[in-house]
Amino acid sequence: MKALIKVGYGCNDHCTFCHTLDVRHVDAPADEIDRKIDRAKALGHTMVVLSGGEPTIRPELVRWARRVAARDMDFGLVTNGRVLSYPAVVAELLALRLRYVYLSLHGGSRTIHNRLVRADAFAETHGALAQLTGRGLDLKVNCVVTLQNVDHLRGVVDAVRPFPDVTLKFSMVEPKGGGAALFAALSPRVSDAAARVVDAIEYGLATAGAAGPRFAHGGFPLCLMPGHEHRYADLKTDRFATMIEVGEPDYFPVDDDNKLQPDEACAGCALAGPCPGLYRGYHAALGASELRPRAGGPRSNSFDYTLEATVRPSPDGGCPVLRVGVTPWDRGRHLFVAHGDRIARFRADSRDFSDRDLAAIKHDRGQLYLDRSAKDAPDDFARDLIKLARSPRCAPCPEYARCTGLYEPVPDAGFDRDDAIVRGWLAALAGDVIDVGCGADDRYDAILAPAAAAGRLRYVGVEPEPARAAARAARCGWAEVRAQALDDVAERGAYDHVLALRSWNHFPDGDGALARLVALARPGGTIIVVDNVAFGLARTPAQTARARAGAAGFEHHRDDDSHAVVRRAAAAGLAVLDHHPVGPATSNQWAVRLRAP
């Protein structure tokens, strides 16, 4: 994992959109950077990347690179590349484990690039690519898209095409520093800029093909990048874990706090998990009317915390997390688990969920589990998973709300306890029952089958997947099972009880699904909806690799909690008879029992 150190904000370019326009006179003392390099090693980072301003104009550059290498870490630079046009400099840095370069090129010609950086820099910056290519580096070229170059992005592709080991990234200009002070003069409409970036990428793919550079984009809402959503890149996708500015006392996790997903446009969008959203400054100035939220599409209902290190216990018996520091650890993405005298550190790199989602799942809902199965995807939660809960040691700590926390495995029968509620409801059923999305699951047959045999209820199961319907029918000789989707069930008002047991989040449209379930119920009939919220799984690297290579696919269209169903039910005029939401003291299964009008 990478640590990003800002060494100062001075620069030999004068970019119109510079983030640090107001602090260009500030540089960190050399010994401050020395201490931060040492701290990166202590935190377990494997690479230190220097940024600015422009780090290559600092006279201590080689000294810092040597210090990084001496601590057995790789070295990287975020740079305008001008100093790296000199072969001797590149050779010396390569010998000191230079492995990563993120280089800025904002135009494919001297005229365009120099106009944006306000210096005669194109020859040196472009020349750096010739010095760096073919050296086995992770080499990125970043082009900030502004009104001055938005019509010339194909030219950037042409300029980079001779260097096939490069990833060319197009980044939306951020309203920060110069980008904020000159917003009207610099910022294109995000939808226009996104369309030009898509055009440039497709031009590059068509003209260079597999032999050409790779392409990426950043700062653009994914709904505006059709067909190229997977090319999104930022610090997290580039495996930066932490960063530190000049004068800051310790590292902080990289975050997306400069962006937001506006509720008026993004609520319910299928891309909400991985999407960066809009820059906050852009939204404040121009709103969200350009966004085009996507409906439907399957998504994950879980994410992995993968083991990355073992942390030594504090010799004095104090908190092992506080001993290594509070701020470098991401509250949502890092997980410390104590088990006996061992402490394991896990990290979640998922892009299926936003940082806000991950923090809510971990801290608000408390839905973290240790995966003790050997399966690609656990399917018997009560047996496959062990719940993780915040350690009681954390409760009195003044850092409780800021810290990622220490967690412990806890003996908990939550899944059985929460499922006992559902079993109780089913045991009381009588009359005509339809089970929508019944799958191949027979977990409740021991309750339903005797009632059917006694003539107390008539059970009909419907399942849209023919193979699952056939498997269910084979196990369910006492009932009728159809290979049928909810929308194709014709009987209206025919059932005393309608069941949606772990099928709710499989329905593409929540409002439409509820209306269809209500339509199946007789007046005053009951509707039972049960499902699971998203959860995190602590896994070894081997477990994570096996899960990602496995055949299990995404089946959820949403990860609704019970409150979402209750809100829909209230809007539809249904009475809520019972409501069992998810919380830190429960499993991740919720249950709602409704009465039809």
Q: What confidence tens digit (pLDDT) does each residue in 56-91 have?
A: 999 999 999 999 999 999 999 999 999 999 999 999
Residues 6+ apart with CB under 8 A from 416: 382
Same-domain pairing of 419 and 493: yes
Residue 20 has pLDDT above 80, yes or no: yes
Asked if residue 155 and residue 17 are part of one domain, the reply reads yes
Domain boundary among 395, 413, 431: 413
> What count of Cα atoms within 13 Å lies in the side-chain half-sphere of residue 181?
10
Note whether 406 and 424 are same-domain residues: no
Q: What is the pLDDT of residue 380?
A: 85
Q: Check whether residue 408 and residue 420 sit in a common domain.
A: no
Beta partners for 141?
A: 103, 168
Model confidence at 551, pLDDT cuts 50, 70, 90, reads confident
Residue 314's pLDDT band, with cuts at 50, 70 and 90, is: confident
Q: Residue 342 — pLDDT band, cuts 50, 70, 90?
A: confident
Query: How would residue 480 be classed by pLDDT, with cut points 50, 70 and 90?
Result: very high
The amino acid that residue 521 corresponds to is A
Q: In angstroms, rounded to a whole number, what is the distance separating the alpha carbons of residues 247 and 35?
A: 12
Whether the per-residue pLDDT at 340 is higher than 80: the answer is no
Q: Is residue 380 part of a domain?
A: yes
**Distance, CA of 585 to CA of 597 (rounded, Å):** 33
Identify the weakest region by mean pLDDT among 156-165, 213-222, 317-326, 494-503.
Answer: 317-326
Q: Above pLDDT 90, what percent of the chain?
A: 82
276 lies in a domain? no
Query: What would the two tokens of residue 473 be?
Result: 């029918």
CATH number of the domain that residue 475 is part of: 3.40.50.150
Which pLDDT score is estimated for 160?
Answer: 96
Share of the chain above pLDDT 70, in %: 100
Any domain includes 573: yes
Burial of 23 (0-12, 13-18, 19+ CB in 10 A): middle
Instruction: Quickly state the pLDDT bin for 273 (edges 50, 70, 90).
Output: confident
Q: What is the pLDDT of residue 346?
A: 96
User: Which residues, in sequence order, are bridge partners of residue 142?
Assistant: 104, 169
How far apart CA 220 and CA 47 sit, in angstroms, is 27
* CA gap 361, 327 in Å, rounded: 20
Could you say which DSSP state residue 326 is in? Answer: S
Nearest to 472 by CA among 503, 427, 431, 494: 503
Pair 321, 420 in one domain: no
- Per-residue confidence band for 323, with pLDDT thresholds at 50, 70 and 90: confident
Closest CA to 133 of 154, 97, 158, 103: 103
pLDDT at 21 over 90: no
Judged against a pLDDT cut of 80, whether residue 485 lies above it is answered with yes
For residue range 153-175, what is the model confidence (pLDDT) as tens digits? 999 999 999 999 999 999 999 99
290 domain-assigned:
no
Angle at 531 between CA 525 and CA 532, to 5 degrees: 160
Q: What gap in Å lies between CA 357 and CA 294, rounded to an integer?
A: 19
The pairing of strands 368-371 and 278-279 is unpaired
Residue 378 has pLDDT above 90, yes or no: no
* Dist. CA 437–CA 137, nearest whole Å: 51
Specify the length of the chain in residues: 597
Q: Which long-range contacts (CB under 8 A, 24 or more apart) does 230-239 make?
A: 231/201, 232/274, 232/275, 232/276, 232/351, 233/167, 233/169, 234/276, 235/4, 236/349, 236/351, 237/351, 238/2, 238/102, 238/140, 239/1, 239/2, 239/349
Domain assignment present for residue 583? The answer is yes
pTM: 0.89
Give pLDDT tens digits for 131-151.
Answer: 999 999 999 999 999 999 999
Judging by DSSP bridges, how do beta strands 342-347 and 302-311 pair with one another? antiparallel
Final residue of a domain: which of 377, 398, 413? 413
Q: At what angle do helices 87-95 and 61-70 cross, to 10 degrees?
A: 20
In a domain, 6, yes or no: yes
State the pLDDT at residue 319.
Answer: 85
Enter the tokens of residue 560. 């609704």
Q: Which of 231-245, 305-319, 411-425 has the lowest mean pLDDT?
A: 305-319
Q: Judge whether residue 583 has pLDDT over 80.
A: yes
In a domain, 485, yes or no: yes
Same domain, yes or no: 248 and 329? no
Q: Are residues 77 and 209 in the same domain?
A: yes
Statement: residue 432 has pLDDT above 80: yes
Q: What is the pLDDT of residue 210?
A: 76
- Tell me whether residue 425 is in a domain: yes
Q: How far is the C-alpha of 94 from the C-alpha of 131, rounded, in Å?
A: 11
Residue 197 has pLDDT above 90, yes or no: yes
Residue 593: per-residue pLDDT: 98
Beta-carbon contacts of 9 under 8 Å, excluding residues fewer than 6 positions away, are 20, 23, 24, 25, 26, 27, 52, 53, 246
Specify the pLDDT at position 310: 87
Whether residue 189 is found in the same domain as residue 91: yes
What are the structure tokens assigned to 63, written together?
Answer: 């000294």
Domain residues for 146?
2-258
pLDDT score recorded for residue 272: 85
Coil, helix or strand at residue 98: strand
CA-CA distance, 519 to 495, in Å (whole number)?
Answer: 9
108, 47: one domain: yes
> The domain spanning residue 48 has which CATH number?
3.20.20.70
Pairing of strands 98-104, 74-79: parallel
Averaged over 503-523, what is the pLDDT? 94
Q: Are residues 571 and 442 in the same domain?
A: yes
Domain count of the chain?
3
Side-chain half-sphere of 194: how many Cα atoms within 13 Å? 22
At residue 22, the pLDDT reads: 87
| pLDDT at residue 296 tops 80 | no
Determine which helix (DSSP H) or strand (DSSP E) holds 266, and give its type and residue range: helix 263-266
460, 448 contact by CB (below 8 A): no
Distance of CA 585 to the CA centre of its chain: 25
Bridge partners (DSSP) of residue 75 are 48, 98
Question: 103 and 186 share a domain?
Answer: yes
Q: Is the N-terminal amide bond of 53 cis, ω within 30° of 0?
A: yes
Does residue 16 surpass a pLDDT of 80? yes
Please indicate whether residue 439 or residue 577 has the higher confidence score (pLDDT): 577
Tokens of 379: 């399917």
**Are 434 and 370 in the same domain?**
no
Decide which of 413, 441, 472 is a domain's last residue. 413
Name the average pLDDT for the chain: 94
